[in-house]
């Protein structure tokens, strides 16, 4: 294959306004010493934090308690009696120096269930609900409210897959973690048009917006050769593919002039489907190595190539070179080409007015 194997498709998305608690990653430098201390000791209390981090066991107890409570509220620590211990999220925060700060509210969340995306969340925005006053002003207010009620429905079940996972939304930005999401929400229309581009050769997936790459992710562990064979199978040409030579058997009449010379061809695939990964847009596989499907096609092909290569007076040496070049792709077939004199006779009888005929006949007559 001349070029990289790349498949594309539009990303199917759903946008919901829903009550949720979403934590966004940020640097909370005042909490890091507390988390490190809890990690070091395996558990600590207000007195210990005040003494070792704030250097005062009495006057700084209130500050120490507030820091520990913030850690608990952020789900970084849990309290048992007077002792605070790190949670799994707290240990991760201590190691990465990132704290996920939860915020409960109405969020506008765009999801995608595309298997090529590493995370179902495409983007999130905190939604500002209109005030009660703005909802009742205007003659169309009541009808607008009724229309909004119609959009309230169950959120898709697959959206639950993103709960309690710390990851960056597919369109980029800060890492987030969805701690809670209501079962029902308001489905919203969005004009967001995204394209997914899977470069199978490089094993990379790109997310494109307005033809610009905005994100990239590791691609599926699928080898290019395996995907190519699957595409050929769906096209009904798997039996024509030679895995040893990486060539596709093809009939002479399926080719155009440039294919016959270069021994490379382009093939269209209509809505190809890859197992477990779904359908993709039509695409053109360029620069596929081709060979004759059988001896009859090889003979016709080699004869055409010889005539095509005759571009000047066919001296003995030039004709020998052209014949060798015409035959070179068909070493696996028993193909015979005429000598220069035989070809001159044949062409003089069948196609006298042709320029190539003149090059061959004249060279023979002049003894070149």
204/220 Cα distance (integer angstroms): 8
Residue pair 166/101 in contact (Cβ under 8 Å)? The answer is no
Look at residue 27 in the predicted model and tell me its pLDDT.
84
245/86 Cα distance (integer angstroms): 59
Instruction: Give pLDDT < 70 ranges for the chain.
Output: 1-2, 57, 129-150, 311-314, 344, 346-368
Q: Is the dihedral of CA 312, 318, 323, 325 positive or negative?
A: negative
Look at residue 362 in the predicted model and tell me its pLDDT.
59
Ranges of each domain in the chain:
12-27+98-194, 28-97, 224-292, 302-366
Residue pair 21/180 in contact (Cβ under 8 Å)? The answer is yes
- From the number of C-beta atoms within 10 Å of its C-beta (0-12, 13-18, 19+), residue 114 rates as buried
Q: pTM higher than 0.95 for the full model?
A: no
Look at residue 361 in the predicted model and tell me its pLDDT.
58
Look at residue 131 in the predicted model and tell me its pLDDT.
56
289/92 Cα distance (integer angstroms): 51
Q: What is the pLDDT of residues 85-106, one digit of tens each?
A: 999 989 989 998 889 888 999 9
131: tokens are 């005030």
Look at residue 140 in the predicted model and tell me its pLDDT.
59
For the chain, helix (H) and strand (E) counts, in that order, are 12, 18
Look at residue 313 in the predicted model and tell me its pLDDT.
62
Fold of 28-97: Arc Repressor Mutant, subunit A (1.10.10)
Question: DSSP assignment of 210-259, as one string?
Answer: TTEEEEEEEPPS--HHHHHHHHHHHHT-GGGEETTTTEEEE-GGG--HHH
Look at residue 128 in the predicted model and tell me its pLDDT.
72
């Amino acid at each position: 294959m001349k070029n990289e194997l790349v498949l594309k498709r539009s990303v199917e998305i759903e946008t919901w306004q829903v009550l949720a608690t979403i934590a966004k990653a940020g640097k909370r430098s005042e909490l890091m010493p507390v988390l490190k201390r809890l990690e070091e000791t395996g558990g600590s209390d207000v007195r210990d934090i005040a003494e070792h981090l704030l250097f005062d066991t009495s006057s700084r107890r209130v500050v120490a308690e507030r820091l520990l409570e913030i850690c608990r509220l952020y789900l970084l620590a849990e309290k048992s009696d007077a002792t605070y211990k790190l949670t799994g999220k707290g240990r991760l925060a201590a190691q990465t120096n990132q704290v996920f700060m939860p915020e409960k509210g109405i969020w506008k969340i765009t999801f995608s269930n595309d298997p090529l995306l590493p995370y179902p969340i495409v983007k999130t925005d905190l939604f500002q609900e209109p005030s009660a006053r703005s909802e009742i002003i205007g003659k169309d207010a009541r009808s607008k409210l009724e229309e909004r009620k119609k959009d309230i429905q169950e959120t898709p079940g697959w959206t639950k897959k993103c709960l309690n996972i710390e990851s960056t939304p597919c369109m980029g930005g800060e890492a987030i973690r969805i701690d809670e999401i209501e079962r029902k929400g308001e489905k919203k229309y969005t004009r967001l048009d995204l394209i997914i581009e899977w470069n199978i050769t490089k094993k990379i997936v790109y997310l494109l917006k307005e033809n610009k790459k905005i994100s990239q992710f590791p691609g599926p562990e699928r080898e290019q050769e395996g995907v190519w064979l699957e595409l050929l199978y769906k096209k009904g040409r798997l039996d024509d593919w030679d895995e040893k030579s990486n060539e596709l058997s093809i009939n002479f009449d399926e080719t155009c002039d440039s294919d016959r010379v270069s021994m490379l061809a382009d093939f269209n695939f209509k809505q190809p489907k890859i197992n477990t990964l779904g359908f993709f847009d039509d695409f053109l596989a360029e620069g596929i190595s081709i060979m004759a499907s059988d001896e009859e096609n090889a003979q016709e092909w080699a004869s055409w190539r010889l005539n095509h290569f005759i571009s000047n007076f066919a001296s003995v040496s030039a004709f020998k070179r052209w014949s060798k070049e015409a035959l070179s792709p068909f070493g696996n077939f028993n193909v015979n080409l005429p000598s220069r004199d035989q070809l001159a006779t044949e062409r003089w009888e069948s196609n006298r007015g042709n320029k190539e005929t003149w090059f061959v006949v004249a060279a023979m007559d002049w003894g070149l």
